[in-house]
Amino acid sequence: MKLIWSLTEKELGEGEPIFEWRPKGNYLAVAGWNNLVKLYDRSGNIIDELILPGRAKALSWDRDGDVLAIINDKNTAITLWEFASKTVNKLECGISGREIPTFILWSHISPVLAVGYNTGNFLFYNQRTSRKTSAIGKHQNFITCGAFSNNELLALGSSDATITVNNIEGDMLHSFLCSMEPSMIKFNDQKQQNDKNAKSDIMLSAILGQNIIMLVNLNGATDPMNLQCQLHYGEIVAYCWYRINFLLLAFNKGFFVCISTIPSDMGQEIYSVQDFKAYLSSLCISEANSKILLTGDNQIRVRELNQFDEIVEIFEVDIKNNDLHSASTNYDGQLVAVNTHSGALYLFLTKMPMLGAAYLNTVAILSSLNEITLFKEEEMNPLTTVKIELEPTGMALGPKHIAISLNNRAWLYEIEDKKGVRQVHEIEYLSTINAMCLNEKYAIAKLDGRAQLQELHGENGKYSMKGNGFIIPDPEHANSELQDIALTDDFLIYCTNDGHLYYYSVEAEAYVNEYKHMAAITSLYPEPKGIMLCFFDERLNAYIYSPNNDELSKIPSIDSTIHLKNCLWENFSVDRDTFVVCDSDTIHVFLVSKHQIENVSVVKVGITKVPYGYIPLMLCKGIVHCQTQNGHINNMMLESHRTDTVLDGKSLNTLEKLLDQALNLRRWTYAWHICEHTKIHEHWNKFAIAAAKNCDVDLAMRVFKQIDAVDIVWSLEEIQDTEETILLNAYLALILGNLDVAEQLFLQSSKPREALNMRRDLLHWDKALDLAARLAPEEIPMISKEYAQQLEFMGNYSQALTQYENGLIENPDGNDEQLLEHNEICNSGIARMCVRLGDIRKGIEIAASLEGRAVKRDCAIMLEQLKVC
């Protein structure tokens, strides 16, 4: 933790300042006792300031951080300060001139501001429609605290010792009379995560007096429950909900306590410790970092949220008189603001911002708050360092440019071989930039609900990004909401919340592919120099998509993408079909099998553990290049890509694992080296099969020769000149014995009758008849005859009779000796089967009508065996 800047009593006035973080940003609104409200960026620069007629009593940002609401002690009007335009509006909402606002809070669902007054009345103000909804007589005294729920219920506490719960229309749904004045009201949605159909239990909590916790289930019929905390803990100064059914409590005598609210263990202490000897003043949770921050005894203590015993850091604050009051983190937990009772405010950096980008084998990271460093894969030392004037929130890297962004502005830097990096352009957009992508000629910015594609250079070759460029979704696709964007050298790719995935050619300025997925696509990760991409969807599945044939392959062995952070593709051409998906502590390694004959297109080849605090940015030659929290790049070799050239002394089990790894990654030279070392027939055979499955016929022939598989080598020689890929795959599948795959591939090829020939040659008569019905009906009699002969030989006379009858050709050409011979064989078979099955008269009649003497002799022998005279 590092102190970035601080404000003293001279700048804020003598008295406890109030502050509020802007949602999803790094701006801090601070109000001191000098009647000033100032907005600071994370570097301590003043963005804007307001002069109030009195001291500010409360600050509240709306859900999007567009408007800051302020009330003061000298005016009944509410001040609304708009962030983008820096304009100030006054909102007069009181029913009478004597009403003084005492409480303000924005809904986190809609643009609605709740205002409570000293009379006990309150109202809702809708910023979008300017509608005001008043509620009168719900309380008899000052409204002092409140909270909005996830379904937009408003709970209000008053100095008359009552709590009311109201809907957004101002209707009172619940009212509770408390034993003491309530404070610190909170909601907690207790829906069970493993039961999607379960109804949420909306819990309302508040602190009564100094050490009583009031709990009430708004969906239940039970009365509020009061939990009395142990008196020696002192007064409750802060609390928060944790993991649905637990409360974290901070007491002014230094105790930090966790209690259960599970009905069977209600009020049971799960954890308790005295963190501070003199005092504890505040508690806050950083969910983004899974940390608990406690202030007291002139210290800030940081504990692991998932392991209370573990103290991550203790930071000493250089102040006197135990003056620390409250702490609050920004949205990503990187910044902590702490105020004091006497009028000071401190801003701390908890860790370096993890901001980085990659393009092929180059990585750019934010190495300090105002510095960017570039690294190349093959070089140990940094390529160059860029000084920047501000701390960005976004970064993009292209082949010749770096882009950084902050709010609605972006700055473009050109990477020159000899002159280093220089700033060349500044771009201003109409809304906040959420992400950017670059290629050599274009830049695209993802904004709120849309994206803007612009060409970097104008007609004169100079940097000029005027105008709106190409806006997506465009008017033809404006019915859906943009989810994510990606930019390759050739295509702009984007996805929407209705599951559509679009490929737009930036050169042709036209859509070239559209795919409709079964669910909303949430994030895109395209192949750097190809057209395939990996995407995650809202159902928490991950897929590989190829626009060549609209082929979609689900990534195996991943239960859920909820913890996945990103996907990286291999840049090295030899291993370019390798990609990884990463979560917070594991890298999952996969291989796209583009040419395999089996119906398996994505294969998992291994996992690698990621050290804590590492962010993978680039994959090249099996090495993952990771950004670290100290602003550096560290490299990790994937476990699946490790090779060991020294094979002597290794166990057979180890050698088999190395061989499997080499075959999965198609590292044929290494696999040959292993097989030469082991000299085991099964290893060579496994190698040969892997090469054949990968359609490498020449290699498969070389390997099969090592084990003297002459018949297979001859078969491979016969097909090695086959140019059609599908047909070649079909022959290879047949040689390897994958008959069903071979049939499927033959049917997709230019020679579908090869599937029939295969089944016929293998005496698979049922499948041969099915294929003949589809491909060559004229072959059915011949196949039926051959099938019948096999059935007769096997003693299945009933089915043999049926097939002989199916084999008869009606009205054959009298001059075609082959057809006449065919029918002669079928009729002979019918005669024999009739005799075998007891229809002797019919069998004798058919045999007598035939010219051949063999059938008559056969029937006579059977009759003699049956002793029929």
Q: What pLDDT digit, counting tens, does each position of 278-320 carry?
A: 999 999 999 888 999 999 999 999 999 988 988 988 888 888 7
**Rounded distance, CA 517 to CA 353, Å?**
35
User: How far, CA to CA in Å, does 606 sit from each of 568, 587, 620, 651?
Assistant: 15, 8, 16, 21
Give the sign of the dihedral formed by CA 195, CA 201, CA 202, CA 205: negative
8 A C-beta contact, residue 768 and residue 776: no
Coil, helix or strand for 852? coil
Cβ burial, residue 466 (10 Å; 0-12/13-18/19+): exposed
Question: Within the chain, how many helices (H) and strands (E) appear?
Answer: 15, 59
3-state DSSP of 212-226 = EEEEEECCCCCCCEE
Which of 436, 363, 416 is CA-nearest to residue 620? Answer: 363
Which of 74, 62, 68 is CA-nearest to residue 47? Answer: 68
Which of 147, 152, 219, 154 is CA-nearest to residue 183? Answer: 147
For 433-484, the pLDDT digits (tens) are 999 999 999 999 999 888 999 888 766 667 776 666 788 888 887 788 899 9
Give the DSSP per-residue string, 109-170.
SSSEEEEEETTS-EEEEETTT--EEEE-SS-SS-EEEEEE-TT--EEEEETTSEEEEE-TTS
Which of 643, 628, 637 is CA-nearest to residue 375? Answer: 628
8 A C-beta contact, residue 812 and residue 820: yes
Residue 85: other Cβ atoms inside 10 A = 8
Which of 126, 217, 122 is CA-nearest to residue 174? Answer: 217
8 A C-beta contact, residue 78 and residue 63: no
Residue 459: other Cβ atoms inside 10 A = 7
Which of 594, 582, 523, 592 is CA-nearest to residue 558? Answer: 582
Angle (CA) 322 323 327, round 5°: 115
Residues 6+ apart with CB under 8 A from 41: 26, 27, 47, 390, 391
Given this model, what pLDDT does residue 194 score?
56
Given this model, what pLDDT does residue 12 score?
93
8 A C-beta contact, residue 33 and residue 12: yes
Q: What is the dihedral of CA 194, 196, 199, 205, to 10 degrees?
A: 50
Return contacts of 65-73, CB within 8 angstroms, 24+ apart: 65/22, 65/23, 65/24, 65/25, 65/27, 67/106, 67/111, 67/127, 68/20, 68/22, 68/29, 68/37, 68/39, 69/104, 69/106, 69/113, 70/31, 70/37, 70/104, 71/101, 71/102, 71/104, 71/115, 72/35
* Cis peptide bond N-terminal to 777, omega within 30: no
Given this model, what pLDDT does residue 197 score?
62
Per-state percent for the chain, helix, strand, coil, to nearest 5: 20, 40, 40
Given this model, what pLDDT does residue 128 score?
92
Output the six-digit token pair for 76: 């009944």
Q: Collect the ranges in the chain with pLDDT lower than 70.
A: 95-97, 191-199, 221, 380, 418, 458-461, 465-468, 559-562, 594-596, 598-600, 812-815, 868-869
Output the six-digit token pair for 333: 């937990």
**DSSP structural state of residue 570:** B
Given this model, what pLDDT does residue 24 score?
86
**What is the CB-side half-sphere exposure of residue 429 using CA atoms within 13 A?**
26
Residue 155: other Cβ atoms inside 10 A = 26
Angle (CA) 223 226 232, round 5°: 175
8 A C-beta contact, residue 37 and residue 72: no
